């Protein structure tokens, strides 16, 4: 209790002095305001007003608290609505990005199925290889072309994963290098053709165990014993070597014989 100031028209009155509103929440502030109304009534020269205010205070407090709670709920609802709108916008942007990326990937795959598209960017010696594919076969690559096997089939791994990897690791960087004018000339292969590229079509070559197929039958054994020194498919079967013999699948005898000797030396040491 604290004595209030003297009223100019009457004696001083005793009023309620409440704590400061610092640190109060909305509901507590509503109670504070209700008590303040009673305090103001105490300044008047009418005890009846103060008594009436005391009896009216519970109703006013409930209305004030209800209004504050409603305002808080409305603000929370508005905040949730804004968050939901931003979430919808972000989802739409991601969805459009996925559609565009998927469409770009499908387009790239379709374009890479055409040898002419590959040759439109690639410099020598690729342009020469492409010209060979338009005439009678003179090497393993042009022989594949007569069976409707495009460049990308040999220059990509098995399945969708192999195709996407070829686009992202080879095609996309090569395209950027070409259009930015920073490509190598003559071009050098940056993604060697692995055995898995060949075996996706020629898996049957590893099944024969007779003498005529012993070089293929022993290749996995050689690779397991000396992984860094063993040959791969393309060391014998060079796609763009025009010096090979057509009757032995465009193998160049001298190159292949040297590979055979390396394998025999390794296997003998077991």
Average pLDDT over residues 53-66: 52
| Confidence band of 184 (pLDDT split at 50, 70, 90) | confident
Pair 162, 153: CB distance under 8 Å: no
Most confident residue range from 106-115, 205-214, 240-249? 240-249
Q: Residue 199's pLDDT is what? A: 93
Dist. CA 49–CA 67, nearest whole Å: 25
Q: What tens digit of pLDDT does each residue of 196-236 get? A: 999 999 998 888 778 888 889 889 889 999 998 999 999 99
The helix (run of H) or strand (run of E) holding residue 15 is strand 14-15
The reported pLDDT for the residue numbered 202 is 92
Q: Where are the domains of the chain?
A: 2-78, 192-270
The pLDDT value given to residue 87:
82
Q: Which long-range contacts (CB under 8 A, 24 or more apart) does 10-13 make?
A: 10/45, 13/42, 13/43
Check pLDDT > 70 for residue 167.
Answer: yes
- Give 229's contacts (C-beta < 8 A, 6+ positions apart): 262, 266
Angle 99-162-188 from CA coordinates, rounded to 5° = 110
Q: What is the mean pLDDT of residues 106-111?
A: 63
Query: How large is the angle between the packed helices 47-112 and 159-166, nearest 10 degrees?
Result: 90
Q: How confident is the model at residue 10 (pLDDT cuts 50, 70, 90)?
A: very low
Least confident of 6-10, 110-114, 199-203, 244-248: 6-10
Looking at residues 1-20, what average pLDDT do you find?
A: 44
Strands 14-15 and 2-3: antiparallel
42, pLDDT greater than 60: no
Paired with 15 in beta bridges are: 2
pLDDT of residue 51: 53
Rounded to an integer, the average pLDDT of 74-78 is 71
CA–CA separation, 246 and 253 (whole Å): 11
């Amino acid at each position: 209790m604290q004595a209030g100031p003297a009223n100019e028209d009457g004696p001083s009155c005793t009023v309620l002095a409440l704590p400061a509103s610092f640190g109060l929440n909305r509901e507590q502030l509503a109670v504070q305001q209700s008590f303040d109304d009673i305090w103001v009534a105490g300044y008047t020269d009418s005890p009846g007003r103060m008594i009436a205010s005391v009896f009216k205070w519970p109703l006013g407090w409930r209305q004030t608290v209800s209004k504050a709670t409603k305002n808080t709920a409305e603000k929370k609802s508005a905040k949730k609505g804004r968050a939901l709108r931003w979430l919808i916008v972000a989802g739409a942007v991601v969805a459009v990005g996925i559609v565009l990326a998927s469409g770009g990937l499908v387009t790239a795959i379709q374009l890479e199925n055409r040898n002419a598209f590959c040759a439109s960017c690639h410099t020598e010696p690729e342009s020469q290889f492409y010209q060979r594919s338009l005439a009678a076969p003179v090497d393993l690559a042009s022989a594949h072309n007569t069976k409707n096997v495009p460049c990308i089939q040999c220059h990509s791994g098995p399945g969708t994963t192999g195709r996407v990897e070829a686009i992202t690791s080879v095609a996309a960087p090569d395209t950027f290098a070409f259009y930015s004018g920073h490509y190598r000339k003559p071009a050098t292969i940056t993604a060697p053709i692995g055995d898995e590229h060949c075996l996706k079509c020629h898996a049957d070559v590893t099944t024969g165990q007779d003498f005529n197929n012993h070089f293929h039958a022993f290749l996995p054994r050689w690779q397991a014993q000396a992984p860094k020194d063993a040959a791969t498919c393309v060391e014998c079967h060079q796609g763009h070597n025009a010096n090979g013999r057509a009757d032995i699948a465009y193998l160049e005898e001298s190159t292949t014989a040297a590979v055979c000797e390396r394998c025999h030396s390794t296997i003998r040491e077991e």
